[in-house]
């Protein structure tokens, strides 16, 4: 966290906490500021209700929403008849409608599923039928020549393929931040850096949610806690939910690879996993991954030598032409998987508890639909909520989103504000102007990771070699906090050490 740990929330609206002589803080308290929690918050603030979001991390999208493939799925490969299939399909259309006003990039790249042998080629027909059953009727079987025309980097051994034209690429960071910011400007209060430590019920049925930095009271509790949804549910009195972390490791290739990957390359899924894919990113890079490994530790975000190797080998089987492209970053994410094999969305009207859990790898795609589903459930439970078409105040516009030209390349912006002409991050061409916007946004970036999510500063090919010091210095000056108070991801992650004590002693020892 950049703002020193005062313990206060950053975006509390004055009237959200205190103010009114009510017996509770929030009508709806959402646990978890991932893409699901933020989407639900944004949907709820269409009504004049008090919405709070409590999050253990120091930013939005710090769990499963932080580390995924950023693909906007059509749901063509989901199991027909499941809630996941329905909500992913609905979510895709909602994103098409909402993304422009939210400032979220969507690249309709399409995906090509590659059959690398005859056995896989036979599977394609099954996936085509599966897609049709899920309402994705525009898929198309491809001959080898067509595959190679649409995916020039594909393995020459490819036999045939399946084109899914609407599979798209978005940006999980931008999407989650945008939803959260629109929720915030419409009245939702976000409380970061608060880990829920217990949940109590008062005799009149109100929730008292204990956190490591003070309690909140709420009429309804909405569990969107991702990996920790089972724990929250248990504390709230709903047993039976089990969430197991499934690790996925990714590699990010430099932008030179992007031209070779015009579309998402998918393997033919196995019964176990959707498999390792190759995908362009909205910011012009290429992703390889993810692996899928069930693990025990919900905090284990480490990359492993074997995992990275598997991700790379799997991806190169689809697109061997990427073998020489430089890797600029690696990461691991944990999907919150549930043994049910489908989303768990439950409205316990009597307990005033909502579960939005088990949302594995498709949560980004389905988030807007999940939020609507939750509101539909609340309406059925008799909650007086506004329709999902009630207008929202827009989120403040940003000068840049992934995939757009950088402000420093736009003469009119640089002329209007010289800070757009002072480039700090040289690989990604991030200027002071974009970083300032991130620091002053409705959900202000308070950590270096948060700045990176919003601007890509330090996320390019040099990974901060040239710009780390300059970014730190600018942020420190802009927020008037000492450099030693800047953190990567919140308290306990200081970026730098102490000041040099005696500068005279060193130079010629």
Partner 1 sequence: MAERSSIPERQVDVLVVGAGPAGLGVAARLAKLGVAPLVLDREPVPGGLPAQCEHPGFGLWVFRRLMPGQEFAARLVERAVRAGVRLETDVTVLEVTPDRTALAVSPSGIVRYRAQALVLATGCRERPRSTRLIPGARPAGVFNTGVVQRLHTFLGLLPGREVVVVGSDDISLVAARTLAQAGCRIAAVVEERPYRQGYLVNEWWSLRSQRIPLRLGHRVLRILGDGRVRGVEVALCDATGTPVANPYEIPCDTVIFSGEFVPEATLVAQAGIPADPRTGGGPLVDQEFQTELAGIFACGNLVHAADPADYALMDGERAALGVWRYLMSPPSGGELVQPVLPGPQVQAVVPQRLRWAGERLDPVRLAVRVEPALRAVRLRAVVAGQPWGWSLAPAAKPHRSVYLWLRPARPRDAPIVVEARGWPIV
CB of 28 to partner 1, least distance (A): 30
Q: Confirm or reject binding of residue 3 to partner 1 (CB under 8 A).
A: no
CB of 308 to partner 1, least distance (A): 6
CB of 417 to partner 1, least distance (A): 9
262: how many CB neighbours lie within 10 A of its CB? 16
Cβ atoms of residues 112 and 265 within 8 Å: yes
Question: Across the strands, what pairs with 217?
Answer: 208
Place of tokens 């580390």: 67
291: how many CB neighbours lie within 10 A of its CB? 23
Closer residue to partner 1, CB minimum distance, 12 or 496: 496
CB of 452 to partner 1, least distance (A): 12
Cβ atoms of residues 88 and 135 within 8 Å: no
Q: Closest Cα partner for 247 from 286, 204, 291, 279?
A: 291
Q: Closest Cα partner for 424 from 460, 397, 392, 393?
A: 460
CB of 264 to partner 1, least distance (A): 23
Q: In the set 3, 12, 303, 340, which binds partner 1 (CB under 8 A)? A: 303
Q: Confirm or reject binding of residue 412 to partner 1 (CB under 8 A).
A: yes
Q: Confirm or reject binding of residue 328 to partner 1 (CB under 8 A).
A: yes
310: how many CB neighbours lie within 10 A of its CB? 18
202: how many CB neighbours lie within 10 A of its CB? 11
CB of 278 to partner 1, least distance (A): 18
> Whole-angstrom Cα distance, residue 385 to residue 378?
8
Q: In the set 204, 296, 389, 501, which binds partner 1 (CB under 8 A)? A: 501
Give the range of 15-23, 100-108, 170-178, 494-502 binding partner 1 by CB under 8 A: 494-502
Q: Confirm or reject binding of residue 480 to partner 1 (CB under 8 A).
A: no
> Whole-angstrom Cα distance, residue 61 to residue 382?
31
Q: Confirm or reject binding of residue 499 to partner 1 (CB under 8 A).
A: yes
Q: What is the DSSP letter of 398?
A: P
> Whole-angstrom Cα distance, residue 86 to residue 361?
15
148: how many CB neighbours lie within 10 A of its CB? 17
The token duo for 495 is 């970026």
State in Å, rounded, how far the first CA of the chain is from the last one: 37
Q: Confirm or reject binding of residue 481 to partner 1 (CB under 8 A).
A: no
Taking CB under 8 A as the rule, which mask of x and - marks residues 419-458 in contact with partner 1? x-xxx--xx-x------------------x----------
Closer residue to partner 1, CB minimum distance, 360 or 406: 406
Residues from 369 through 408 that contact partner 1 (CB under 8 A) = 405, 408
Q: Confirm or reject binding of residue 290 to partner 1 (CB under 8 A).
A: no
- Site residue total, partner 1 (CB under 8 A): 66
Q: In the set 152, 410, 478, 485, which binds partner 1 (CB under 8 A)? A: 410
Closer residue to partner 1, CB minimum distance, 73 or 406: 406
Q: In the set 14, 156, 384, 497, which binds partner 1 (CB under 8 A)? A: 497
Cβ atoms of residues 157 and 120 within 8 Å: no
Cβ atoms of residues 363 and 227 within 8 Å: no
> Whole-angstrom Cα distance, residue 243 to residue 319?
33
Taking CB under 8 A as the rule, which mask of x and - marks residues 219-258 in contact with partner 1? ---------------------------------x---x--
The token duo for 165 is 């034209």
CB of 447 to partner 1, least distance (A): 9
Cβ atoms of residues 31 and 209 within 8 Å: yes
Q: Confirm or reject binding of residue 473 to partner 1 (CB under 8 A).
A: yes
Which residue ranges make up the site for partner 1 (CB under 8 A)? 252, 256, 299, 301-305, 308, 324, 326-331, 405, 408-412, 414-415, 418-419, 421-423, 426-427, 429, 448, 461-466, 468-469, 472-473, 483-484, 487-501, 503, 505-509
């Amino acid at each position: 966290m950049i703002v020193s740990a005062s313990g206060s929330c950053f975006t509390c609206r004055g009237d959200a906490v205190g103010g009114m002589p009510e017996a509770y803080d929030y009508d709806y308290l959402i646990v978890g500021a991932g893409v699901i929690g933020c989407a639900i918050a944004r949907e709820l603030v269409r009504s004049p209700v008090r919405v709070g979001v409590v999050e253990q991390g120091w930013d939005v999208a710090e769990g499963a929403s932080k580390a995924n493939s950023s693909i906007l799925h059509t749901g063509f490969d989901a199991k027909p008849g499941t809630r996941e299939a329905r909500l992913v399909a609905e979510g895709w259309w909602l994103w098409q409608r909402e993304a422009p006003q939210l400032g979220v990039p969507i690249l309709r790249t399409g995906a090509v599923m590659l059959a690398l042998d005859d056995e896989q080629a036979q599977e394609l027909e099954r996936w085509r039928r599966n897609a049709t059953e899920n309402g994705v009727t525009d898929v198309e079987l491809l001959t080898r020549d067509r595959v190679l025309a649409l995916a020039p980097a594909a393995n020459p051994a490819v036999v045939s393929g399946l084109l899914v034209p609407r599979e798209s690429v978005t940006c999980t960071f931008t999407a989650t931040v945008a939803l959260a910011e629109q929720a915030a400007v419409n009245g939702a209060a976000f409380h970061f850096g608060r880990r829920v430590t217990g949940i109590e019920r008062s005799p009149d049925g109100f929730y008292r949610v204990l956190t490591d930095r003070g309690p909140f009271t709420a009429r309804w509790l909405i569990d969107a806690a991702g990996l920790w949804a089972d724990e929250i549910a248990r504390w709230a009195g709903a047993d039976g939910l089990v969430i197991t972390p499934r690790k996925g490791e990714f590699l990010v290739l430099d932008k030179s690879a992007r031209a070779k990957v015009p579309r998402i390359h998918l393997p033919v899924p196995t019964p176990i996993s959707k498999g390792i894919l190759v995908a362009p990113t909205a910011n012009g890079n290429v992703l390889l991954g993810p692996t899928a490994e069930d693990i025990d530790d919900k905090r284990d975000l480490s990359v492993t030598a074997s995992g990275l190797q598997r991700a790379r080998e799997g991806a190169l089987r689809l697109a061997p032409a990427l073998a020489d492209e430089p890797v600029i970053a690696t990461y691991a994410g944990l999907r919150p998987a549930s043994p049910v094999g489908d989303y768990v969305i439950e409205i316990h009207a009597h307990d005033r508890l909502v579960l939005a859990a088990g949302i594995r790898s498709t949560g980004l795609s389905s988030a807007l639909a999940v939020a609507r589903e939750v509101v539909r459930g609340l309406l059925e439970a008799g909650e007086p909520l506004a329709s999902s078409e009630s207008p929202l105040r827009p989120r403040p516009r940003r000068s840049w989103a992934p995939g757009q030209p950088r402000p420093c390349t736009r003469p009119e912006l640089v002329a209007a504000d010289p800070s757009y002409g002072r480039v700090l991050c040289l690989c990604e061409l991030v200027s002071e102007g974009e970083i300032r916007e991130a620091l002053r946004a409705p959900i202000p970036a308070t950590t270096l990771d948060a700045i990176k999510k919003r601007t890509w500063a330090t996320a390019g090919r040099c990974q901060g070699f040239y710009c780390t010091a300059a970014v730190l210095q600018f942020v420190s000056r802009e927020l008037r906090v000492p450099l030693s108070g800047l953190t990567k991801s919140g308290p306990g992650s200081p970026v730098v050490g102490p000041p040099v004590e005696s500068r005279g002693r060193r130079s010629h020892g």
